[in-house]
Amino acid sequence: MPEQPVPYWDDVDATRIFPNIAIAAFDLDGTLARSKKPMLEPMAQALSTLTTMLPVAIVSGGAMSLVRSQIIDVLSEQADRTRMHLMPTTGTRYYRWNGDDWQQIYEHNLKSEDRAAAMESLQRHAQALGIWPEHSYGPVLEDRGSQITFSALGQQAPVDLKEQWDPTNELKNELARRVQRDVPHLQVRSGGSTSVDVSDKGVDKAYAVHALADALGVDVAHIMYVGDRMDPDGNDYPAAQAGTTAIRVRGPEDTLALCRSYIEWYQHHACRPNGAQ
């Protein structure tokens, strides 16, 4: 499939795309919040407001515990949780609010032998590339059941160190390419600022947005998918290739500006877009 360039939010004609958007879907780290950090209050308020206007999905490489701490725990009282769709571990799990808690709709766990093979390959190639840390901030390899995640500095590394580690994504991309050759039947993607994720082939953010579209009865083209890793090696790129209205951001500041732009447009038009309710 040919590469599909994804425009940055400030290159998009919002007045053209907003009327056709039925669902807003967001990556988490680097898009709604900095790595492993909760959303800042202005972003939390904007996202909460969005949930009163249209369905909102979070499609993250992180585990559900991180989606809770970074997103759910900082939403305002205004947020309508019944219109939220949580899809952690790169969309290999899906949760909806049942009135009391988040109910799991599906999960796609890796086989135990595939998890072991992925972890062995990640460690071996990371050591060969010289990026396996002597000292780490928490686990370097994490078995999330449906996804194996390598974090070059450890899961709890300070965000500033993470963002400085591989700004061009060259190291993560090379590690992903090497591991992919070892496990061709699995999907290996460069994830957040220091991470590489391994999951079942075909169960990625493209799978997630199609599942979301099916669940809400809309065409995938009516999903606005917002992410920072829209390069062909990035884990947001499959959502763009799936046919969403994909928008690239440079960080949470861009996402906040985009959300405020949508909120202003919505309030001015005082109507819901056609599509999922």
* 15 carries a ligand binding annotation: no
Helix axes 170-182, 112-128, angle to 10 degrees: 130
**249 with 255: CB under 8 angstroms?**
yes
* 27 carries a ligand binding annotation: yes
Sole residue written with tokens 């701490």: 69
10, 11, 13, 27: the catalytic one is 27
- Dihedral Cα 100, 106, 111, 115, nearest 10 deg: -60
* 214 carries a ligand binding annotation: no
Question: What strand order describes the sheet that includes 195-200?
Answer: 141-143, 148-151, 195-200, 186-190
* 204 carries a ligand binding annotation: no
What's at 111, amino acid-wise? K
10, 11, 29, 204: the catalytic one is 29
Radius of gyration of the chain (CA): 18
* 29 carries a ligand binding annotation: yes
User: Does the annotation mark 80 as catalytic?
Assistant: no
**252 with 33: CB under 8 angstroms?**
yes
Fill in the DSSP letter of residue 19.
G
- Distance between CA atoms of residues 201 and 210, nearest Å: 15
Sole residue written with tokens 């219109």: 83
**74 with 104: CB under 8 angstroms?**
no
* 233 carries a ligand binding annotation: no
User: Does the annotation mark 29 as catalytic?
Assistant: yes
How many beta carbons lie within 10 A of that of residue 95, not counting itself?
A: 22
- Distance between CA atoms of residues 227 and 181, nearest Å: 26
Helix axes 252-269, 41-50, angle to 10 degrees: 40
Residue 230: phi, psi to the nearest 5?
A: -100, 10
* 195 carries a ligand binding annotation: yes
Binding-site residues for Mg(2+), in ranges, read 27, 29, 228, 244
Active site residues: 27, 29
User: What residue numbers does the annotated binding site for alpha-D-mannose 1-phosphate cover?
Assistant: 144, 195, 197
Annotated binding site: 27, 29, 144, 195, 197, 228, 244
